[in-house]
Amino acid sequence: MPDIIRLLPDNVANQIAAGEVIQRPASAVKELLENAIDAKASEVKLFLKEAGRTLVQVVDNGIGMSPTDARLAFERHATSKIRIAEDLFSLHTKGFRGEALASIAAVAQVELITCQEGEEVGTSLLIEGNKIIQQQPVVTQKGTSIAMKNLFFNIPARRNFLKSDTVEYRHILDEFHRVALAHPNIYFSLHNNDQEQIVLPATTLQKRIVQLFGSKLNERLVPVEELTDIVRIHGYVCKGSARKNKSLQFFIVNNRFIRNRYLHHAVTSAFEGLLKEGEQPEYFLYLELDPKHIDINIHPTKTEIKFDNDQAIYTLLRSAIKHSLGQFHIFPTIDFSLDESNEVPYSYKDREAKTPTYQVDRNFNPFQMTQEEPNRSSSFSKKETKAWESLYSIPSSYGERIPSKANESLEEDSSASPLLQLEVENKTRTILYFQRKYIITYLRDKILIINAPRAHQRILYERYYKRLNEGKSVSQSLLFPLEFEFSSSEILSLEPLIPLLNKAGFLLEIRQNIVSVTGLPSLVKESQVLEILHTILEESLEGIPQEEFSQQEALAKDLARSLSLKAGQSLSLEEQEQLVSDLFSCTETTLSPFGKRIYTSLTLNELEGRF
């Protein structure tokens, strides 16, 4: 039998290795930015075209490279950071593997221009698929410029797996934010398609956070500071979080962004009792410790690390955050100090107490009714009550959440639910609203237990989905527009959805990082707008569908989730009956928009079988 194992050619091996390091344009951005920082640059500029597909260029004013170093930098495992294996545990730099430039050159066309300080002539290098096409001297300024062009030009299959420009640009922004947060003392700028998008002058950590995520965040930053023999912890946590995603969670260990579930749990436990259900803590936390106590060589992207004493760091981090939250009075506390306004003035010390006087109408009899009252009561018949209520299309206490005229909608669509067909004369009666979540009612020979929040989600979903398809919505203009500040990546998520939001009745305008709301759908409260926008932004980076049909469905679900009933919310008897009627007027009554069961039933035979 012939031998079947063979060595791969270098170009194939390089492309496979590149797949571990360079997964998308954002991966190359991260590696090139970190190389610029390792070169001791004080200014780093990033240039993009078509979200990195066509061009990713990083220009820095670092120490530059000699002609020999420039050529060796693109060889696999060529690095200036380590000499022996023990150096892996004393790293203070980022690009120590020596794979980044080699991986980039294997899947892209690269142009390098570099010059060392004090030299009059630098080096220009052209590389395609790890092959050096040209090397020549060039006159340039101190520093390095690396341009990566046409990513995956020699691997079309990998290029086809890239997402839309919007999604890829958001990934790049995330990497840019992480590097910029880790080095607030460095000037950064970002240009996309020849337009300047972000400029970050060198500053302090707090100002860098504000530069990236908006000035309103500055009011919510709570400083954290703890210095021990094991680790130094500093940074900020945010109070009053309203987000349900993890977009503002940053761990920086020795100036390197990392992900660590164990440390995240320490932060979450420190916030216990301060956040509502589903909300996420927001933090910018920096840990500095001896490199020999961590191992950052466990993942090609170097975003996962191991600590040799993670339990101690967990305890210190948790206690440092709790101390800061208590120090700045974020925790609810009992104030034992006396309020002077509650004290008896000294001038009243020797005065006698006076008995208060009051008057009583002794002829008043609460059980005796005047002649006018019964007439008034009898004249206000049920028919007149219904006629008066019909002037309003929606009950005032329930807003847009429950439409009126339930009986008419049932008559129009008597086939809405083949399992449960209701007749107007046999109107459904609510018998119990259990735990302010479940509506228990009956229909002929069945008892129904309905999950009210899920039922309301189904009602709102179908209503908004119909509006988005028909493009018919009524907006109520606001006298004073509402303005909300979002990060650059969040703005990118909202921009494609503005036409659909306008169809739903939300009138939005975007100016840089400010979202201005000038109109709302009828009966949507101003206090609900920010929650709705945050709910829409909770979608993952891959969660924005490109097809209009799918976008409409996703937006209708987001609106239904935001505006629906919440468990524990009280409902009047009329509102409960209205909710039940509207549910069985829907085209789908058994499942919520998110695939959850809405109700369960118990027949008379099943009930009798339990006794």
SS (H, E, C) 362-396: CCCCCCCCCCHHHHHHHHCCHHHHHHHHCCCCCCC
Q: Considering 148, 167, 202, which residue would you say is the last residue of a domain?
A: 202
Amino acid identity at 362? R
**CB distance 230 to 294 below 8 Å:** no
Residues, the chain, total? 611
* 64 belongs to a structural domain: yes
Q: Considering 180, 202, 224, which residue would you say is the last residue of a domain?
A: 202
Residues 289 and 235 in one domain: yes
* 583 belongs to a structural domain: yes
Residues 159 and 69 in one domain: yes
Beta bridge partners of 189: 45, 199
Q: For position 330, what pLDDT does the model report?
A: 67
**CB distance 53 to 107 below 8 Å:** no
Q: Please give the Cα distance from 251 to 267 (Å, whole number).
A: 11
Decide the pairing of beta strands 232-238 and 283-288: antiparallel
Tell me if residue 359 falls in helix, strand or coil.
Answer: coil
Residues 181 and 246 in one domain: no
Residue 220: CATH number of its domain? 3.30.230.10
Q: For position 379, what pLDDT does the model report?
A: 43
* 356 belongs to a structural domain: no
**CB distance 127 to 74 below 8 Å:** yes
Residues 222 and 275 in one domain: yes
Q: For position 490, what pLDDT does the model report?
A: 80
Q: Please give the Cα distance from 151 to 56 (Å, whole number).
A: 9
Residues 427 and 566 in one domain: yes
Phi, psi at residue 402, to the nearest 5°?
Answer: -130, 110
* Angle between helical axes of 25-38 and 165-182 (0-180°, round to 10): 20
Nearest CA-CA partner of 562 in 538, 591, 578: 538
CA distances from 219 to 207, 210, 223, 280, 328 (A): 12, 10, 11, 18, 13
Nearest CA-CA partner of 206 in 225, 190, 232, 191: 225
* 390 belongs to a structural domain: yes
pTM: 0.69
Residue 69: CATH number of its domain? 3.30.565.10
Residues 222 and 194 in one domain: no
Q: For position 242, what pLDDT does the model report?
A: 56
In whole numbers, what is the pLDDT of the chain averaged over residues?
A: 78
Half-sphere exposure of 493 (CA within 13 A, CB side): 24
How distant is the alpha carbon of residue 541 from its chain centre?
10
Residues 180 and 210 in one domain: no
Q: Please give the Cα distance from 235 to 320 (Å, whole number).
A: 11
* 189 belongs to a structural domain: yes
**Structural domain range at position 389:** 380-611
* Per-residue pLDDT tens digits for 135-155: 999 999 999 999 999 988 888
**CB distance 90 to 141 below 8 Å:** no
Residues 441 and 386 in one domain: yes
**CB distance 524 to 400 below 8 Å:** yes
Place of tokens 């079309």: 156
**CB distance 397 to 575 below 8 Å:** yes
Q: Please give the Cα distance from 516 to 510 (Å, whole number).
A: 6
Q: Please give the Cα distance from 363 to 90 (Å, whole number).
A: 94
Tell me if residue 305 falls in helix, strand or coil.
Answer: coil
Q: Please give the Cα distance from 197 to 305 (Å, whole number).
A: 32
Contacts of 595 (CB under 8 A, 6+ apart): none
**CB distance 145 to 57 below 8 Å:** yes
Residues 20 and 153 in one domain: yes
Residue 439: CATH number of its domain? 3.30.1370.100
DSSP for 73-91? Answer: TTSTT--SS-SSGGGGGS-
* 462 belongs to a structural domain: yes
Decide the pairing of beta strands 187-192 and 43-49: parallel
**CB distance 251 to 258 below 8 Å:** yes
Show contacts of 95-99: CB within 8 Å, 24+ apart: 95/31, 95/34, 95/35, 95/38, 97/297, 97/300, 97/302, 99/17, 99/21, 99/300
Domain total in the chain: 3
* 392 belongs to a structural domain: yes
Residues 307 and 446 in one domain: no
Q: For position 542, what pLDDT does the model report?
A: 46
Q: For position 92, what pLDDT does the model report?
A: 62
Residue 608 host element (H or E):
helix 604-608
Q: For position 74, what pLDDT does the model report?
A: 84
Residues 191 and 211 in one domain: no
Q: Which residues of the chain have pLDDT under 70?
A: 1, 6, 8-21, 78-98, 241-244, 297-302, 329-351, 369-430, 472, 523, 539-549
* 157 belongs to a structural domain: yes
Q: Considering 202, 234, 261, which residue would you say is the last residue of a domain?
A: 202
Residues 536 and 569 in one domain: yes
Nearest CA-CA partner of 162 in 57, 34, 247, 50: 50
For the sheet containing 429-434, what is the strand order? 429-434, 438-443, 446-451, 599-603
